[in-house]
A and B are shown apart, each in its own frame.
Chain A
């Protein structure tokens, strides 16, 4: 016990002592309390960053056991949540559209690690995991997906319209590309209010061709807005591969006068490094584009099998070689921060958490009929049209 306390209380100068103690600890089967260990660990990103009109951040990322385990836990939770949503959709408990994020978890988690809740995030309809990263609960997710009162939008929004204003998460948008000018607007307001915070506006490779994006970027650059445009390039805009939709698939370069960075979106640490860099840049110099090279395992939505326009080999290939959760698992194991069993236990816990949340959400009631007419306006008009 004493040894572990020694190890855990070690700070900056004691990395060597930690190394000395490590074999001792394992020999005595004592474990440092891994969940709170903040000894810095340096990890190299999978690939170096590529940049356009700016410097590249270093490939070496500072992290620690606590952060890595948080990454693992959060991404595993998101993964399980999306898979559970798949089953719920097939059981017809989720209606309408359901766009799943599994494969792309590293972007949500890495970004969150680099910023605070004062910074804003806005995204399109593939928003379940981004919502959770911003502090949303599993119950809020599942209840909203099933259209119940406990949902984050009280059942009135649905899968594509999750919001969490108190964490500066602005949704959740159904119209491709529309969230980017909205995000630049958030950045405008942050600058206007002198908040020293930034906005991350996420969009896909399909949305990258939208004209309104370039209009908003132009204004953001003219006015030096702290806007960070993040292209989550999963290489397919619904059923159309990027080379069939974009003349130039180098999305990080499309800002032309605005600098850009290309990032391995399956590497949570690379994402974190890039977002830290981008935040610093945006606060001083205005908009910057981040292109996250990522991948979605599911089709575009639950109505799309996802295999008519890409091969199953491609999907399994990415899963085997670039899976974000597996990458962190390997890192944790190789740095001896936890055992395989401990990680499996975390996953079991997560499974139970997800199952509990679903059970709770299923019990939750549908919204009251009167809710049909609430929140049309912030300030009521005193006149309501009702139809017999």
Chain B
């Protein structure tokens, strides 16, 4: 509640400082600190970093400032959970170490203190059991947000996710909907070995009845988690451990407690005209870096942040492919039957963009092996920026030395 009040105050204060409607959103780090804004932040006790760039006229209380706020993915998820729990008393959290331990990755920090043990529940290490219980609660109409410490452990509970959650609305012909969210880190971390590194996007996305989301930035994390919690269907929300600590700039629109992103819509992170690179989660960051490298070689890449794996934003992907005529898909997961394979088929056959392709679709994926532990082997088992650059060049018929 307090969080929302603070944010509303900030918004109103911002409006006073920024009479102009359009605000430049820039990453500029050369900040000319506006003392006015600094005082404002001290008064409101805002913990998030504020970087101010651009001209700042402080003679009066009237200042031009291009204000950019930074927020980590962790903060984004925490604030989204906080706001949704505050807005709807039916929402509760369940998972291992989510309460007293403040969350294994600190995503649920402070929520036990705020909402009490009836709404933030620490479970024993029994995924099959507590997932089944959560799905049953969702049948009844309350809204559980189940945390898997990593999605590798969701395999213990996958029967309940698929058979009990995903299929029930259909089997009951609409009588019983399952407003549940399964969230947690997915994919490879660093040096955690074969049993803790798998990406489950393709598995869950193949199942009708589930919605599968994969945020990249803090904006994604906030908007998509809010959308997932509000959605009446079971949503699998695939986070990434290595992204938790990364900061992204966000606008005050994102900070609003009613902010929400639509499920099923991708985002064009970088507009381009020569090749489309479609990725999700951490690979979006890699794709953006690859685009910078490609730009130096005169290739203008368009980077699509999928955001939603099920449903896939087929129209955006295909509109992009029809524009650029070249497609590279990037995922960290195992290659066979993966998201890349689905996008290839969709673009080529289903949406009939085949005629628009000037080169075969390139699929970048993790190596077809269980994740090794040794640092050099692990590096080889996941896509690197160079792999994406090489693939994009191949689609542009550039030789790869």
Chain A nearest CB, measured from B118 CB (Å): 15
Asked whether, in the complex, the Cβ of A147 is within 8 Å of the Cβ of B373, the reply is yes
Given the complex, which residues of B lie within 8 Å of A385, measured CB to CB? 335-336, 367-368
Encode A130-157 as 1/0 by CB contact (under 8 A) with B: 0000000000000010011000010111
Q: Is A117 an interface residue (CB 8 A)?
A: no
Contact of B124 among A144, A158, A237, A387 (CB under 8 A): A237
Contact of A245 among B124, B193, B394 (CB under 8 A): B124
Asked whether, in the complex, the Cβ of A175 is within 8 Å of the Cβ of B156, the reply is yes
From DSSP, what is the main secondary structure of chain B's interface residues? loop
Asked whether, in the complex, the Cβ of A369 is within 8 Å of the Cβ of B376, the reply is yes
Given the complex, which residues of B lie within 8 Å of A155, measured CB to CB? 372-374, 377
Contact of B374 among A97, A239, A366, A384 (CB under 8 A): A366
Which B168-190 residues sit within 8 Å CB-CB of chain A? 189-190
Q: Is A388 an interface residue (CB 8 A)?
A: yes
Asked whether, in the complex, the Cβ of A158 is within 8 Å of the Cβ of B101, the reply is no
Chain B nearest CB, measured from A91 CB (Å): 14
Q: Is A279 an interface residue (CB 8 A)?
A: no
Chain B binder among A206-214, A287-295, A318-326, A345-353: A206-214
In the complex, how many residues of chain B place their beta carbon closer than 8 angstroms to a beta carbon of chain A? 45
Asked whether, in the complex, the Cβ of B125 is within 8 Å of the Cβ of A96, the reply is no
Asked whether, in the complex, the Cβ of B125 is within 8 Å of the Cβ of A210, the reply is yes
From DSSP, what is the main secondary structure of chain A's interface residues? loop
Which B108-161 residues sit within 8 Å CB-CB of chain A? 122, 124-126, 128-129, 152-153, 155-156
Q: Is B233 an interface residue (CB 8 A)?
A: no
Given the complex, which residues of B lie within 8 Å of A388, measured CB to CB? 387, 390-391, 394, 400
Which of B96, B372, B380 counts the most chain A CB atoms within 10 A?
B372
Q: Is A238 an interface residue (CB 8 A)?
A: yes
Which B64-110 residues sit within 8 Å CB-CB of chain A? 96-97, 100-101, 104
Asked whether, in the complex, the Cβ of A369 is within 8 Å of the Cβ of B193, the reply is no
Name which residue of chain A comes closest to B362, CB basis. A388
Chain B binder among A17-25, A222-230, A267-275, A371-379: A371-379
Asked whether, in the complex, the Cβ of A367 is within 8 Å of the Cβ of B376, the reply is yes
Q: Is B261 an interface residue (CB 8 A)?
A: no
Q: Compute how far the CA of A211 lies from the CA of B132 in the bound complex, rounded to whole angstroms.
A: 12
Given the complex, which residues of A lie within 8 Å of B391, measured CB to CB? 388
Asked whether, in the complex, the Cβ of A211 is within 8 Å of the Cβ of B128, the reply is yes
Chain A nearest CB, measured from B341 CB (Å): 12
Which A45-103 residues sit within 8 Å CB-CB of chain B? 95-97
Which B335-372 residues sit within 8 Å CB-CB of chain A? 335-336, 364-365, 367-370, 372
Chain B nearest CB, measured from A205 CB (Å): 10
Asked whether, in the complex, the Cβ of B372 is within 8 Å of the Cβ of A161, the reply is no
Q: Compute how far the CA of A317 lies from the CA of B388 in the bound complex, rounded to whole angstroms.
A: 55
Which A232-254 residues sit within 8 Å CB-CB of chain B? 237-240, 244-246
Given the complex, which residues of B lie within 8 Å of A211, measured CB to CB? 126, 128-129
Chain B nearest CB, measured from A235 CB (Å): 14
Which A255-277 residues sit within 8 Å CB-CB of chain B? none
Which of A177, A308, A372 counts the most chain B CB atoms within 10 A?
A372
Chain B nearest CB, measured from A124 CB (Å): 11
Given the complex, which residues of A lie within 8 Å of B122, measured CB to CB? 240, 244
Q: Compute how far the CA of A237 lies from the CA of B364 in the bound complex, rounded to whole angstroms.
A: 39
Chain B nearest CB, measured from A3 CB (Å): 55
Name which residue of chain B comes closest to A155, CB basis. B374
Given the complex, which residues of B lie within 8 Å of A246, measured CB to CB? 124
Q: Compute how far the CA of A376 lies from the CA of B195 in the bound complex, rounded to whole angstroms.
A: 14
Q: Is B196 an interface residue (CB 8 A)?
A: yes
Interface size class of A (residues with CB under 8 A): 35 or more
Encode A102-139 as 1/0 by CB contact (under 8 A) with B: 00000000000000000000000000000000000000
Q: Compute how far the CA of A376 lies from the CA of B374 in the bound complex, rounded to whole angstroms.
A: 16
Q: Is A331 an interface residue (CB 8 A)?
A: no
Given the complex, which residues of B lie within 8 Å of A386, measured CB to CB? 367
Given the complex, which residues of B lie within 8 Å of A367, measured CB to CB? 372, 374, 376-377
Chain A nearest CB, measured from B15 CB (Å): 42
Asked whether, in the complex, the Cβ of A95 is within 8 Å of the Cβ of B190, the reply is yes
Q: Compute how far the CA of A298 lies from the CA of B126 in the bound complex, rounded to whole angstroms.
A: 23
Q: Compute how far the CA of A148 lies from the CA of B155 in the bound complex, rounded to whole angstroms.
A: 30
Decide yes or no: A161 and B193 within 8 Å by CB, A175-B152, A207-B125 being known contacts. yes
Contact of B373 among A96, A238, A245 (CB under 8 A): A96
Which of B192, B373, B376 counts the most chain A CB atoms within 10 A?
B373
Chain B nearest CB, measured from A241 CB (Å): 9
Q: Is B23 an interface residue (CB 8 A)?
A: no
Q: Is A40 an interface residue (CB 8 A)?
A: no
Given the complex, which residues of A lie within 8 Å of B196, measured CB to CB? 96-97, 160, 174
Q: Compute how far the CA of A385 lies from the CA of B152 in the bound complex, rounded to whole angstroms.
A: 23
Q: Compute how far the CA of A207 lies from the CA of B335 in the bound complex, rounded to whole angstroms.
A: 33
Encode B196-210 as 1/0 by CB contact (under 8 A) with A: 100000000000000
Asked whether, in the complex, the Cβ of A366 is within 8 Å of the Cβ of B195, the reply is no
Decide yes or no: A96 and B100 within 8 Å by CB, A156-B374, A367-B377 being known contacts. no
Given the complex, which residues of B lie within 8 Å of A31, measured CB to CB? none
Q: Compute how far the CA of A244 lies from the CA of B367 in the bound complex, rounded to whole angstroms.
A: 41
Given the complex, which residues of A lie within 8 Å of B97, measured CB to CB? 238-240
Name which residue of chain A comes closest to B391, CB basis. A388
Which A152-196 residues sit within 8 Å CB-CB of chain B? 153, 155-161, 173-177
Given the complex, which residues of B lie within 8 Å of A369, measured CB to CB? 376-377, 380
Asked whether, in the complex, the Cβ of A157 is within 8 Å of the Cβ of B373, the reply is yes
Given the complex, which residues of A lie within 8 Å of B21, measured CB to CB? none
Q: Is B2 an interface residue (CB 8 A)?
A: no
Decide yes or no: A209 and B156 within 8 Å by CB, A147-B374, A373-B369 being known contacts. no
Q: Compute how far the CA of A242 lies from the CA of B154 in the bound complex, rounded to whole angstroms.
A: 23
Of all A-B residue pairs in the complex, the 4 with the closest CB atoms, nearest first, are: A95-B191, A96-B191, A158-B373, A147-B374
List 8 A-B residue pairs with CB atoms under 8 Å apart, sorted by A's residue number. Answer: A96-B373, A174-B195, A175-B152, A175-B156, A238-B104, A240-B122, A309-B100, A372-B380
Binding site for A on B (CB under 8 A): 96-97, 100-101, 104, 122, 124-126, 128-129, 152-153, 155-156, 189-196, 335-336, 364-365, 367-370, 372-377, 380-381, 383, 387, 390-391, 394, 400
